[in-house]
Each structure stands twice: as C-alpha cells, then as structure tokens.
Amino acid sequence: MREQILEVDDVSKTFQVKAGDVTAVDRVSFTADAGEVTTIVGPSGSGKTTLLYVIGSLEKPDSGTIEVAGHNILAPSADLIDYRRESVGFVFQFFNLIPTLTALENVMLPMDILGTSPEEQRTRATGLLERMGIDGRLLKARPNKMSGGENQRVAIARALANDPDVILADEPTGNLDTATGQTVIAILSALAKENGKCILMVTHDESILNVSDRAFHMTDGRLSEITVRQTRPGDGARLGG
C-alpha cells in the first residue's frame, strides 16, 4: 500500500484584480502518494500554477488545509521556511537557475541555505548532477552555457538537493523540445518510482498523462479527476545511484 504524502482539502484562492475577484483555485481537494506521479492538466489560466504555489507555500490560500507528510502547513505554528527548505522541491518551466552560479553551485544553494557543510554540499550536489546525467565538464558551467534540457536537469537536481518528500513541477517541459521534454518527464517519473518521491506536475501537455499515476483536469479553478491509461515509464529515464 502506498503512503499518502500530500493531502489537499477544500483549498480556495481568490485574487482581487481591478475587474473584480478572480477565483484561481476553487475548493480543490485531492491526495497524492509517495512514489506516484500526479499530473494536473488544464488550459492556461485555469489555476494550475496557483494551486502548485499554494501547495509550495508561495501563495497563501484563503481557506482549506494542506497536509504534507502529516503536517498541516497552514497551521499557525507551521514553519514555512523549513517547509520550503526540506519538504518540497520546485521545478519551473523557465528553470529559474541563478545565472551567476555554476550548475554545481546552483544545486548546492538549497543545501547552503539549510546549513549543510560545504564538503557535504559538494559531494551530494555532484552525485545528484551525475544521476541527472550532467557531464562532469558541465559542473562549472553557468546556465547560459548549457542547453534547455541540461538546465532543467540541473533544476531537478536542485529540487532534490535537500531530499524533499514532494517535487512540485510547473510545466517542466514547457520550454523544451519534445525529445528533451520526454527525457525530463522520464527522469521525474523515475524519481517517483525509484526514489519514492511524490511528483506533482502541472502542465497543459496532455501527453504527460501517459506517465502519470493519477491525473486531474483543472478548469476555472475546479479540479476533476480523470482516468489515465498509463504506459511504461519514459525511455532513457533510468537514474543512477
């Protein structure tokens, strides 16, 4: 039996704009398990990213509860800084690597913020980049010297730096060509299967549904589960270590 790691219950988020209130997330409830890839698909502006940011504590919901590994992150006593550091890892469409840092330094950064010793940072970051298939010669390369696929793999390594329970991926293939996108999806899928991570992806690319264990469709802030016919995990997604 799979362990339920994420539970979102009746979460709503409304933005106030000039034209009036816009409900980006409307009473959304779902769960996600460790070792599974959960995908939320939907058109642009449907509220997918907002939901992801609410789960990642980058946005505060108006109502509802979110439990990650049994902890209510919206409780007044919750330490959201620690939560962001240790429990979740983000993968963004535009990679969001720090341009002045090398691939290795970008992966070391979350560990540095957490207070990990420099030696351990280096060892773990090198290992993660190796698992992501980043050539050793690229360790000292800056993001502008790497391809989109390489950047996204560095971003995934960074998301894994502090060994979080949940990886939140926002359109991880949105800025990549099809082949590279498939490789990235395969990596994320392998992370779920081999490392027991809970992968929550939001995308408008419905082809990703093929590798998902669970899938939801989001329209106008509302979530509805859809049945997926899972194919085997993506080619070339075998992770080392």
Interaction site with another protein (CB under 8 A): 49-50, 53, 56, 58-59, 81-82, 84-86, 90, 92, 94, 96-101, 109-110, 112-115, 158
Token output for 48: 């997918």
Residue whose CB is less far from another protein, 85 or 217: 85
CB of 115 to another protein, least distance (A): 7
CB of 128 to another protein, least distance (A): 14
CB 213 within 8 A of CB 230: yes
Token output for 185: 């999806």
CB of 105 to another protein, least distance (A): 8
Q: What is the Cα–Cα distance from 20 to 241, expressed in whole angstroms?
A: 51
Residue whose CB is less far from another protein, 89 or 149: 89
Residue whose CB is less far from another protein, 41 or 107: 107
Q: What is the Cα–Cα distance from 109 to 126, expressed in whole angstroms?
A: 13
> Buried b / exposed e across 39-59, counting CB within 10 Å, b at 16+?
bbbbeeebbbbbbbbbbbbeb
Residue whose CB is less far from another protein, 93 or 183: 93
Burial class for 13, CB neighbours closer than 10 Å (0-12, 13-18, 19+): buried
CB of 107 to another protein, least distance (A): 11
Q: Which DSSP state fits 144?
A: G
Residue whose CB is less far from another protein, 25 or 211: 25
Residue whose CB is less far from another protein, 142 or 222: 142
For residues 208, 189, 185, 187, the Cα torsion angle rounded to the nearest 10 degrees is -170
CB of 79 to another protein, least distance (A): 10
Q: Chain-centre distance of CA 11, in angstroms?
A: 19
Token output for 24: 């980006």
CB of 87 to another protein, least distance (A): 10
Amino acid at 177: D
